[in-house]
Amino acid sequence: MGVADDFRTLCSNLAITKRASISDRYELITRRLNLEYWNAESRTYHSIQAGSYGRGTATAKTSDVDMIFWLPYAQFVRFNNYVGNGQSALLQDVRTAIRKTYSVTNIGADGQVVVVPFDDGITFEVLPAFENKDASFTYPDSNGGGSWKTTNPRPEIAEMKRIDALCNANLKNLCKMARAWRHVWSVPISGHLIDTLASQFVRGYQYRDKSYVYYDYMSRDFFEFLCSQSAAQTYWLSPGAGQYVWRTGNFEYKATQCRNIAVGACAYQGEGYGWTARQKWREIYGTKFPG
């Protein structure tokens, strides 16, 4: 076993293991909302996966599945004309609809989404929305008395897919490995920001289209990229859509620590690669990395 085999195994270990169950639940929620709002039985119309699932960067540790379901414009008029918090009323209306399919699930409405938890730890966060002419979505925010906000996930999904294709599928693997690092080191960084920074990094990376043999260098150099970010910067622009992606804490310090560990691990190459290097990578990525 060498560097390539170990990092290939790491990426395999990070893969989602409940795809069939997630897909079935996604389709059942979509069907229920289509019946309720569009008088249709479709399991696919009027919904998309968003967040890390939509961008293809979710891992087995990802417990939240984000989905957007868009309603007819007449529903916007209905809830926008409410006296009071029409956004909260919309969320409760969608919550009631989903309960017709999942009657025993403790479904809640939380600020902007309807939360549908399942016993196996997977939680769906359903964002009811209205599709705009530019393919973005207007969605309800029930906080602070209620307001309407806009999100635009489709260009992000398309751009992540485009860059990943240009770099031999290394972008999405890097995003998943960074999530493993975040989990092991309790790094205060969102998955959205990981994907944003990883996309910026790989676009100009010299080894972006190489194989797993270069994943030790890619890890080391990505940590270098992370720790070189300005601590004063509060937001970055997402790939494709250019939406604000906000800092949630100081990730640079732990990136620096892991850059130093990765430098030591990369010192073991060829016949010198073995147990010592693996322990260093396991220190960064946890037990998903081979021992």
Same domain, 174 and 139: no
Report the distance separating Cα 136 and Cα 127, nearest Å.
Answer: 13
Same domain, 24 and 118: yes
Residue 100's domain is classified under what CATH number? 3.30.460.90
What integer pLDDT is reported at residue 242 of this predicted model?
Answer: 96
Angle, vertex CA 195, rays to CA 230 and CA 23, nearest 5: 160
Q: How confident is the model at residue 262 (pLDDT cuts 50, 70, 90)?
A: very high
Residue 7 located in a structural domain: no
Residue 103 located in a structural domain: yes
pLDDT at 33 over 80: yes
How many domains is the chain partitioned into structurally?
Answer: 2
Give, to the nearest 10 degrees, the angle between helix 3-13 and helix 170-185.
Answer: 70
Q: How confident is the model at residue 106 (pLDDT cuts 50, 70, 90)?
A: confident
Residue 212 located in a structural domain: yes
Residue 120 located in a structural domain: yes
The residue out of 151, 174, 191 marking a domain boundary is 151
What integer pLDDT is reported at residue 223 of this predicted model?
Answer: 98
Same domain, 257 and 170: yes
Average pLDDT, the chain: 96
What integer pLDDT is reported at residue 110 of this predicted model?
Answer: 81
The DSSP output letter for 143 is: G
- Percent above pLDDT 70 for the chain: 100
pLDDT at 260 over 90: yes
pLDDT at 104 over 90: no
What integer pLDDT is reported at residue 43 of this predicted model?
Answer: 97
pTM: 0.94
Residue 10 located in a structural domain: no
The residue out of 124, 151, 178 marking a domain boundary is 151
Segment 184-229, tens digit of pLDDT: 999 999 999 999 999 999 999 999 999 999 999 999 999 999 999 9
pLDDT at 13 over 90: yes
Q: How confident is the model at residue 32 (pLDDT cuts 50, 70, 90)?
A: very high
Same domain, 169 and 214: yes
Report the distance separating Cα 185 and Cα 258, nearest Å.
Answer: 9
Segment 145-171, tens digit of pLDDT: 999 999 999 999 999 999 999 999 999
What integer pLDDT is reported at residue 103 of this predicted model?
Answer: 85
Lowest mean pLDDT among 19-23, 36-40, 232-236: 19-23
The residue out of 101, 134, 151 marking a domain boundary is 151
Domain span at residue 216 reads 155-288
What integer pLDDT is reported at residue 61 of this predicted model?
Answer: 82
Segment 42-89, tens digit of pLDDT: 999 999 999 999 999 999 887 799 999 999 999 999 999 998 899 999
Residue 250 located in a structural domain: yes
Residue 25 located in a structural domain: yes
What integer pLDDT is reported at residue 105 of this predicted model?
Answer: 77
Same domain, 105 and 172: no
Same domain, 145 and 39: yes
Segment 107-150, tens digit of pLDDT: 888 899 999 999 888 999 999 999 999 999 999 999 999 999 99
Same domain, 275 and 176: yes
Which residues, 6 or more positions from 165, have their beta carbon under 8 angstroms from its beta carbon?
none
What integer pLDDT is reported at residue 143 of this predicted model?
Answer: 94
What integer pLDDT is reported at residue 189 of this predicted model?
Answer: 98
Same domain, 24 and 133: yes
Report the distance separating Cα 60 and Cα 89, nearest Å.
Answer: 34
Return the SS3 of 68.
Answer: strand
Q: Could you list the beta-strand ranges (E) of the chain.
A: 47-50, 64-70, 108-110, 113-117, 123-131, 137-141, 147-151, 235-237, 244-246
